[in-house]
Amino acid sequence: MPDHERVLRCGRFTLSLRRPLVMGVLNLTRDSFSDGGRYLDPRAALEHARQLACDGADIIDIGAESTRPGAAPVPEAEEAARVLPLLSALAAIELPLSVDTRKPGVMRAAIDSGASMINDVAALRAPGAVDTVASSDVAVCLMHMQGDPQTMQAAPEYGDVVADVASFLRQRVQVCRDAGIAEDRIVIDPGFGFGKRVDHNLAMLQRLNELTALGLPLLAGLSRKATIGRLTGREPGDRLAGSLGAALSAVAHGASIVRVHDVRETVDALKVWNSAHGCADPDSNPASIPGGT
């Protein structure tokens, strides 16, 4: 289907995929690799969610369990207790709220509290996860990860990383389809940094077309990650420019959604990219704007 006709259905929202979408990250964690501890306080979290919306996020992704290498697991009750009040507080926001979780219990409660998308770094592999999403109308992001966050960066191994990731995602998409999840609710994600070395991540970025060939919108999450640190020599808090380069590169290679911490800057970068690449942006009409300095 041509991109201008593709949509992503997430609960009460239908997002056009005519231009690349920006998913803003909101981590309600102590230990996330780039912003751990900043939004554990519910008031700070709410304020940041509103800021992400003002900055132009198309989706807000709320996570309460870090998946950085070696991160400690968060018990289900604690994860739910961090996420659910924020979902309720944001009930009136006119944006799809995504919940980044691997636990079917948290998925169910989040959907009941108004989440429009489940973002699962384990691609709904936990028992009951597929049925939980199938029995709702929310969208789902299926991500590839080799191993689990405790051990995934120890010694990642692939035959051909892109072919292996494509094969995994194809199989998970089929499981979802068989359970009755319509294709226009499914997003795929190669899982940059999840059981992958720098060369694996770069191969995936360069050959993203082999994954978009699966025919589903692709989400790329490279923001502030270690690969950017390795390429630029910068610490996580100083990776904005590298992250913008990565987001634009992902979009140029076919990503439909970029998951980022720095929403305002990414939205601006994409406005320029979209205009240069003829991506329709229903919110602006560059033809009517003077172009001098």
Q: For residues 40 and 46, which CB has a smaller minimum distance to ligand HH2 in the complex?
A: 40
How far apart (Å, rounded) are the C-alpha atoms in residues 165 and 170?
9
Decide if residue 262 touches ligand HH2 (CB under 6 A). Answer: no
Q: Which among 66-74, 78-86, 173-181, 266-274 is the span making contact with ligand HH2, rule CB under 6 A?
A: 66-74
| Least CB distance to ligand HH2 at residue 115 (A) | 14
Question: Parallel, antiparallel, or unpaired for β 13-16 and 117-120?
Answer: unpaired
The CA-CA-CA angle for residues 74, 54, 267, to 5°, reads 90
For residue 249, give both structure tokens: 């590169």
Decide if residue 221 touches ligand HH2 (CB under 6 A). Answer: yes
# chain residues binding ligand HH2, by CB under 6 A: 21
CA distances from 100 to 53, 94, 195, 268 (A): 18, 19, 18, 25
Question: Parallel, antiparallel, or unpaired for β 117-120 and 139-143?
Answer: parallel
User: 195 and 152 in contact (C-beta within 8 Å)?
Assistant: yes
Decide if residue 34 touches ligand HH2 (CB under 6 A). Answer: yes
Q: For residues 63 and 96, which CB has a smaller minimum distance to ligand HH2 in the complex?
A: 63
Decide if residue 24 touches ligand HH2 (CB under 6 A). Answer: no
Decide if residue 102 touches ligand HH2 (CB under 6 A). Answer: no
Decide if residue 27 touches ligand HH2 (CB under 6 A). Answer: yes
Can you tell me whether residue 36 is helix, strand or coil? coil
Is 172 catalytic? The answer is no
Find the binder of ligand HH2 among 13, 33, 39, 273 (CB under 6 A). 33
Decide if residue 101 touches ligand HH2 (CB under 6 A). Answer: no
Find the binder of ligand HH2 among 101, 113, 116, 119 (CB under 6 A). 119
Contacts of 242 (CB under 8 A, 6+ apart): 228, 229, 231, 232, 234
Kindly identify the residues of this chain, within the stretch 170-189, that bind ligand HH2 according to CB under 6 A. Answer: 189
Is 225 catalytic? The answer is yes
Residue of 19, 108, 225, 239 with catalytic role: 225
User: 221 and 189 in contact (C-beta within 8 Å)?
Assistant: yes
The CA-CA-CA angle for residues 285, 287, 288, to 5°, reads 80
| Least CB distance to ligand HH2 at residue 288 (A) | 37
Residues of this chain that bind ligand HH2 (CB under 6 A): 25, 27, 29, 32-34, 63, 66-68, 100, 119, 121, 141, 143, 189, 191-192, 219, 221, 259
